[in-house]
Each structure stands twice: as structure tokens, then as C-alpha cells.
Chains A and B, each alone.
Chain A
């Protein structure tokens, strides 16, 4: 997993819960990296899982909610780092529908070894979109957070429903309806 996911995460934890919490979840987790992260490095996904788990335990906030919040924060990182990418879209539905065919293609150019989820479009109209999320990471709420922010970015809102196709969350249906 790319280091930027870790550094941005710990920055957000420090921002919301203080440096003590950062120190605490690092100490509680068994980390090969010993909590030393740099945005340009690559680390094990299991470290992120442990950090999330310990944060959830310490804060009594569910992992899904934590991911949702983190995703909303992470969107601003994308906004400031890759404004060009976002500028190619005029419409949130269009942008979400092209995750697989455009955005992930571009991401791989920057991070060749990035492990990305797949988003297969099932149905698409002008104002609605149904996509199947597939990933062994089961980080669907991270996706949901990014989607919420996407609509916000285009000054719009949407009703987004998640239906787990697999109980462990590795396959999830996203039903997106843009608010008129």
C-alpha cells in the first residue's frame, strides 16, 4: 500500500485525536515499519488494517465510518495534487463511471505497483449509476467517501446505497442516484 495513504491517515488522526492517539495506535500495532512512513514508500496493507482496528477500538468509531471520514479527507489531497485530472470532467456521474477506464489508468502511470480495486459499471443513465466494487481489501467505505466528495466537488449531491454482494465486503454494489 502506498505510503501516502499512511501519512495522510496519521496526519488526520493527529489532527482529530492528537499526537497521543497517533503514538498509541502505533505502539498497539505490531508494525514491521515501526510506524515510520513516508509518502513515497510502500508498506504492507496489514499495517493499515491494524492501525484502523486500534483506532476504532480506542475511539469506539466503526472502521467503515473511519474510512468514510478518511476518504473525504483524502479527496482534498487528490484535489490539490491532481487538479488536472479532475478538470477533465464536467459531471460527477461521468467521472465515477470512468474510474476503471481512465482514473485508475492514470494512477498506474504514477504508481505502477498500486493495488487498485475494480469498479465495473452495471448500468448508467444521465443521473444514475450502478457499479460493482471488487477488492480483497474490502475498503468500500473509502470508495463511498471519495464518491461523496466527488459530488460535492461538482456542487451536487447524491443518494448512494451500498449492497454487500459478499458478506466480507470484498464485493459490493454501489447504487448512485444524483439529486436533481
Chain B
């Protein structure tokens, strides 16, 4: 072998050796890289596993702790899964027996139930389905159900899930409330009747006294002295005061009783009625600034309301030309009315007091101190408020609102 050949071989050998080392180094680097990578993978796997466990235990928690009954069923209504609330509520243990949702339907609500189930299948969900169901123990319960369809990847419905809330208690309370309201209405009615009877019983003796006084006067015509005649006149006037008082108390006691009567009330007609009924002296003019609205309620109560305010305005007029102005403004949820006069006015310190019963500022035969209490009671009944602006000697404006 020539020297040259030996050198070629030596160089080849050297290259082979170096290549082997380079390869080994590459492999070692690679394996270190792989090791690091697999460690990283291991850690992230552990993290993933932990978060999956966490998520599933969270879901499990939601499923278990949800206070409402949770049910998963196939689209034929066979129950696949229930939480413990559902198991207790419906009384069926699906690990022991099969349950189709149809079994729970209360017969009277069957049509509604099937309609709702069709809605669920067609639209993918229904909400606030409210009906009765029958449990395994044959108890009838009211439930409110919200349900959705579960679809597979091809958007084919595969199951339905629903949350059912037991609203039996709520329904019972509702029924109870209705019953109480009916009873209240009845006892209100009875009270109203009673007030009428009492008022009759109180008024009858007044009529008797008046008749007897008249007879005394007639039977002794010419023989009674001036003082006696004056005293007899005072008896008659006292009787009138008493009569008015009784009438007003009767009116007041019936003003707050919400008679179920609610109809359209054309306040323009109410005004015409009032102007026919009220005695309006020559020097007083009633001005209705614009056509009044039509409200809902009891026409008698609206009449009482305006009549009392207007008769007050007339009663306390002290000007040569008395004016009573009726107006209103419409707000989104209520009407605000005003009754304005140019009468004697009311001192600021009395503004709160005048709505209280028997707080007449000017006690007289006609003024019993009940009129404004009636007004307040009616305004309260229609969920409104009442207030006034007044200047002594110049006049008063009453404002009140009536809910639409």
C-alpha cells in the first residue's frame, strides 16, 4: 500500500470517526431534547388531567347541587339521567326502574304537554312550561320546566334536557291569595252593607226628633216665646249637622273599599254630572281648560273625588267673581289633575293636616271635615298622590295624580 493510499485511508477513517462523533452528539442532543419534551408533556398532561377532573367534578357538583330537578332523556321521552333532586321529587329511581316522561304527565294537562314537547322538538327549546305532574306516590305537583334539545355533530336531535322547578308551594300561595282577596272583597262588601244599615239606624232617630220638634211648634203655635223658638231652631240645625256627618262618614267608609267595578270613565261626563248636582252660585264660574281623558275605575269614586274638591272650591270662595279651573297634564304612567280656585287660600301650616279625617278648618253645618279625607282615600285607591299650592287670600290649587 502506497503512502498516498495510506493517507487517503487515514483521512477517510478520520472523517468516519468525526462523523460518528457528530452523529452521536446529534443523537444525544436529540435525546436530551426528547427527554425535556417528554417531561414537559408529562407536566402538561398532568395539568390537563387535573383540569379535566376539576371540570368534571364542577359539573358533577352543579348536577348534584342544583336545587331543581334535572332530567336528561332521549327524544322518545325515556329518562337517561336524573339528579338526586329529580329522583326525590318524581319518586322514580331510574337505576332500578325504567321511566318514560309520559308517565309523569297529569291527565288534564296532557294536550298541553304534548304540544309543548312538539315545540321542543321543532324549535329546539321551550321555556316556562307550567303544568301539573303526577309523582310515583300519586302526588300532584305543579312544575315549571325549561328544556332544550341536545344535538349530535350532524345536528340531529339525540336527547333532551330539562330543569323542572317545583312551584307547588307557589301555586298554593297563589290560590290562597286569590281566596283571601275574595274573602276581603266579601268582607268589604259586608262592611259597606253594615255602614248603610248603621247610617239608617242613626238617621231614623234624627228624622223622629225633627218631626217631633215640628209638631211641638205646630201644636203650640203662637204660645211659644222667642227663646224657645230660637232653641227649637238650634235643635233643627244640630240635626242637620248630625245628618251631614252621618252621610259623610258613610261616604268615607265606602270610598276606600275597592269595589271590583272597573270600567272606562269619561271624566267629561263626570263633570257634567257634578255640575248638575252641585249648587253653583251665580258669581262662580267653572272652567274646564281642555277635554278631559277617559280613565279606568269606578265612576262613582271619580265623581266623589272631583265633587268634593269642587264643592270645597265653591264653599271657600270669597271673591266677587269666583273661578274654579279644572285642568290636567298627561304623563307616561299617570294623569296629573288640578283643581284651582281664587278663594280664601290655606295657610302653609295646615297643608298636611287638611287631609286627615275631621280636620275641618272651618267647622260648620256643611263642613264636616271628611270631604278631603274622602278625596285622599280615593287618590290612594288609584295609586296616586295629592298635594296643594296655596296663598292665603289669593286661592288654592289642589293637584292629584291617577295611575293610568
Chain A positions within 8 Å of B, measured between CB atoms, are 7, 19-20, 22-23, 26, 34-41
Contact = CB atoms under 8 A, between A and B. Distances in A.
B50 interface: no
A144 B9 CA distance: 34
A40 B23 contact: yes
B8 interface: yes
Contacts of B30: 40
A38 B8 contact: no
Contacts of B8: 19-20, 23
Interface string B5-47: 1001101100100111011001100100000000000000000
Nearest to A7: B19
A41 B30 CA distance: 11
Interface residues of B, number: 14
A86 to B, nearest CB: 26
B15 A35 contact: yes
Main secondary structure of the interface of A (DSSP, over half): loop
B27 A34 contact: no
Contact of B15 (A20, A36, A41): A36
Contacts of B15: 26, 34-37
B235 to A, nearest CB: 121
Contacts of A26: 11, 15
Among A7, A19, A38, max chain B CB count under 10 A is at A38
Contact of A40 (B5, B9, B12, B26): B26
Contact of B19 (A19, A22, A36): A36
A35 B8 CA distance: 13
B42 to A, nearest CB: 22
Contacts of B23: 38-41
Given A19-B8, A22-B12, A40 B27 contact: yes
11 contacts: A7-B19, A19-B9, A20-B8, A22-B12, A26-B11, A35-B15, A37-B19, A38-B19, A38-B23, A40-B30, A41-B23
A36 B12 CA distance: 9
A41 B22 CA distance: 8
A39 B20 CA distance: 10
Given A19-B8, A20-B5, A23-B11, 7 more contacts: A19-B9, A23-B8, A34-B15, A38-B23, A39-B23, A40-B26, A40-B27
Contact of A36 (B5, B22, B27): B22
Given A38-B23, A40-B26, A19 B18 contact: no
A-B CB proximity, top 6 nearest: A38-B23, A36-B18, A23-B8, A38-B19, A36-B19, A36-B15
Contacts of A35: 15
